[in-house]
Structure 1
Amino acid sequence: MRCVRPGADTLDGGEGEDVLYGGAGNDSLVGGTDDDLFGGDGNDILSGEGFLYGEAGSDTLTGSFFGDTLYGGGESDFIDGSLSDDFLLGDDTLGVAGADTLIGGDGNDTLKGDADSLSGGNDSLLGEAGDDEIYGYAGDDFLSGGDGLDYLEGGDGNDFLDGGLDNSTLLGGAGLDTIIGGLDQDLIEGGESADSLLGGDGDDIIYGEGDGIENSLAGNDFLNGQGGNDSLDGGAGVDRVLGGLGSDTLFGGEDLVGQNQRDTLTGGGSVDYFELEDSGLSGQPGDYISDFQNGIDFLGTGFSFTALTVSRINLNINGVSTGSTRIAVTATGEELAVLGGVLPGQITETDFTSV
């Protein structure tokens, strides 16, 4: 054990299991194997293997090749787990919150921006390589998973979540969140408030609001599946849902846009706007709209009603041949949409709106 008087101290634990206390002042503490480092007051620099606690002040903590536990303490800290499986925590004091930067590095890390904080800080949490768990908690946080199968949870505040390269689970929580899925198959949930949810590449599952049991509020969300064959659910609220590339399934938005390839669109019980995308390609299948409500919902298109052909088509729905409606561009034969269970005689010009 080493203790020194207040001041700007430099302590090196060397070999052996040591406990180093910096005390007051801007200290530099270097630990050896299995050391415990306590920075105390001041802007301290701590590096080593074991348990590192910056305490008060804006501290810099760097882990080792092994599994470390790094606590920043109050104020704005920079924490780098380095290699191996680390646990990183930005703030741990009730009512004290700094804008912390936490970097997991290699390994399967756990990063937490604020714990038991009333207001939270605006933290940057970077998982990098490995299967990481990242929690922003309160504050407007930036979370990035990096490589690996990551779990990101923004918490309160207006957060930005980036899933990175592999399969990720991204939960926005309360606040106006922006979530980007990344390159692989992601599960994205916006939570409360009006969120922007982008699936990225891969076959993603995207929800505009959280579990109805847990969240009583609903936001007006923007969902975009982008690449891949995605499943998008706007939930409650006036949502805009875009399928993007791939064969997508869209639920629950007020404004649903299938975009490229054949998508399945389901609006819900309120007034829905289904935008019929024009690919310009003859033989391209249109979107399938499963619950078009004649006289309630609208079909958005850039074509006039007289430029369209509305005809009957029989579909096998749940094993039953059901009369449905095919809408196509007369001049090119391009199919814009198929309305399941709706007969052509029910469709009139009043069902269309310009986009």
Structure 2
Amino acid sequence: MATYYGTNLANYYNYTGSQQLYAYGYGGNDTIWGNTNNDYIDGGDGNDYLYGWSGNDTLWGGNGNDYLDGGTGNDYLGGESGNDTLLGGSGNDTLLGGFGNDSLSGGDGDDRLTGSTSRAFNSLEYDTLAGGSGWDIFVLGESAGNYYQGAGYALITDYNGANDYIQIKSGSLSLSYANLGFGSSALDTAIYQSGDLIGVVQDNTSIALTSYYFQFV
């Protein structure tokens, strides 16, 4: 295994070796590139750019507004704190935005997208989720509760009812259909729990509160 440890300054590291990479950027606005192996890259603090390339990679953004690109392979991407952009690329990826207003794009493959975090429920978080092609799961909550409360919600931009599911905590759910100003002029579906908006499905009104569209937990 090859290892790389940055400094608290801005680091640039492009690994060209053949071994699996373990890299940690520490502080600073870092740019770190992996290789064709199953790499582990942690940006640490700062606004980081992390690229996994091919292989089944694990990328952690840390604190800051980070850009994570898994490339090909079945990748795990965690934005953590900050307003992060996560790109899964091809493969069956798991994307976790964490704290902040995040943009998640699964790309090709069967992906699992969680904009918020299972560690705390957030009332001021606005996340954008795009699954891409494949059978995708958009996670809006778990059995302990839904992730979006108060003014926060998740915007799902490309839901496909034939392939995709929305995971949500069951109980006191309702849907409404209106043009909420997202995407084209088509109607959107708003998902409420106990009157609180937790999600919007853009340009889609074919959804019903059944197990065909939702995974209730």
The TM-score bracket by the shorter chain reads: 0.7 to 0.9
Give how far 1:247 is off.
Answer: 0.3
CA distance in 2, matches of 1:285, 1:317: 16
Cα distance in 2 for partners of 1:334, 1:162 equals 40
* Matched letter for residue 142 of structure 1: T
Which consecutive aligned stretches of 4+ in structure 1 deviate over 4 angstroms post-superposition? none
- Specify the alignment match of 2:176 in structure 1: 311
Q: Which residue of 1 aligns with 2:27?
A: 165
After TM superposition, the score normalised by the length of structure 2 is 0.87
1:154 has 2:15 as partner? yes
Cα distance in 2 between the residues matched to 1:346 and 1:185: 37
Q: Which position in structure 2 is the counterpart of 1:88?
A: none
Q: Are the counterparts in 2 of residues 288 and 339 from structure 1 also a CA contact under 8 Å?
A: yes
Unpaired runs of at least 5, structure 1: 1-139, 210-217
Q: Is the 8 A contact 2:140 2:147 kept in 1?
A: no
Tell me which amino acid in the other structure corresponds to 1:310: L
Instruction: Indicate the residue corresponding to 1:225 in structure 2.
Output: 79
Question: Percent of aligned pairs with the same residue?
Answer: 33
Please give the per-residue CA displacement for 1:179-227, whole angstroms capped at 9, x wherever unaligned: 1111111100011111110000111111011xxxxxxxx2100001001
**Quick one: which of 173, 184, 203 aligns to 2:46?**
184
Q: Distance between the aligned counterparts of 1:280 and 1:269, measured in 2?
A: 25
Tell me the CA shift for residue 337 of structure 1: 0.9
Which residue of the other structure, out of 183, 188, 204, is the alignment partner of 1:324? 188
Cα distance, 1:154 vs structure 2: 3.2
Unaligned segments of structure 2, at least 5 residues:
117-121
Is 1:295 the equivalent of 2:152?
Answer: no
- Distance in 1 between residues matched to 2:86 and 2:213, nearest whole Å: 24
Q: Quote how far apart the aligned CAs of 1:312 are.
A: 1.3
The residue aligned with 2:105 is: 251
Aligned partner of 1:273 in structure 2 is 137
Q: By how many angstroms is 1:164 displaced?
A: 1.4
**Separation (CA, whole Å) in 2 of partners of 1:176 and 1:274:** 25
**Which residue does the alignment assign to 2:119?**
none
Instruction: State how far apart, in whole Å, the 1-side matches of 2:196 and 2:60 are.
Output: 28
- Mapped to 2, the partners of 1:196 and 1:338 lie a distance apart of 29
Output the amino acid matched with 1:321: S
**1:301 touches 1:354 (CA, 8 Å); kept in 2?**
yes
Distance 2:90 2:208 in 1: 27
Give the corresponding residue for 2:208: 347
Larger Rg: 1
CA RMSD between the two structures: 1.6
- Per-residue deviation, residues 45-87 of structure 1 (Å, max 9, x unmatched): xxxxxxxxxxxxxxxxxxxxxxxxxxxxxxxxxxxxxxxxxxx
Q: Map of 1:43-62 to 2, 5 A cutoff? A: none
